[in-house]
Amino acid sequence: KNEVEQSPQNLTAQEGEFITINCSYSVGISALHWLQQHPGGGIVSLFMLSSGKKKHGRLIATINIQEKHSSLHITASHPRDSAVYICAVRRNYGGSQGNLIFGKGTKLSVKP
Amino acid sequence: NAGVTQTPKFRILKIGQSMTLQCTQDMNHNYMYWYRQDPGMGLKLIYYSVGAGITDKGEVPNGYNVSRSTTEDFPLRLELAAPSQTSVYFCASSNRGVTEKLFFGSGTQLSVL
């Protein structure tokens, strides 16, 4: 079983819909990142969470440390939101300071 | 700011050839990383560095080498390229702490034939 699982793998939505992407993990963490990978391949950081909730524009990210679960929400979705959304966690133990564990990503397609 | 600059964008190598992927950041980040991304898989860490002169192996280091002589530069060297090294490579840098944020280069698509 992967240490970071994302669901769904693929998601198709109509413009304007509210979207939720989920990330579950099985290790103790110190931080969780949400990233966006554009169709052209570039990767952009959206959020870093260690607790609670963050909001930026139409994007909202939440984390529940006890349940080992995070969600990324997109309100009023738009075709330009079409991308792969990646969850990554940093373990809070172990000697490897650099080791983020990445999910496989959720491919979102928003139709006009 | 340019952020993280990674070159080249595309490269085709023959089996056994060598090459260096260049990575430079202008944000004075101590932490730098090299990842590879294979189809349908999550990013995998090849090597990372926590500062000039300090590097360490990640999950998939075999067939690669790195150096970090300055804060800005973190090149990745492929020696004796193999078809298994066909992948998309990303360099990244970050700060750490409560404002931690990752910055990625634009990626290098490498094919080894």
CB-count burial class (<10 Å; 0-12, 13-18, 19+) for B21? buried
Other CB atoms within a 10 A radius of the CB of residue B78 amount to: 20
Nearest chain A Cα distance for residue B17, angstroms: 26
* Both structure tokens of A69: 């679960």
Question: Residue A17 has what pLDDT?
Answer: 97
Q: Are B10 and B34 contacting, i.e. CB atoms less than 8 angstroms apart? A: no
Q: From the candidates B43, B57, B90, B93, which should be mutated to test the interface with A, based on the most A CB atoms within 10 A?
A: B43
pLDDT (tens digit per residue) in A24-42: 999 889 899 999 999 888 9
Give the model confidence (pLDDT) of B26-78 as tens digits: 999 999 999 999 988 889 999 999 999 999 999 999 999 999 999 999 999 99
Q: What would the 3-class secondary structure string for A8-25 be?
A: CCEEEEECCCCEEEEEEE
Query: So what's the pLDDT on residue A94?
Result: 60
Inspect the interface and report whether the beta carbons of A98 and B41 lie closer than 8 Å: no
Q: What is the mean pLDDT of residues A40-53?
A: 92
What percentage of residues in chain A have a pLDDT greater than 70? Answer: 94
Q: pLDDT value at position B99?
A: 79
Q: Which pLDDT belongs to residue A96?
A: 53
- Split at pLDDT 50, 70, 90, the class of B97 is confident
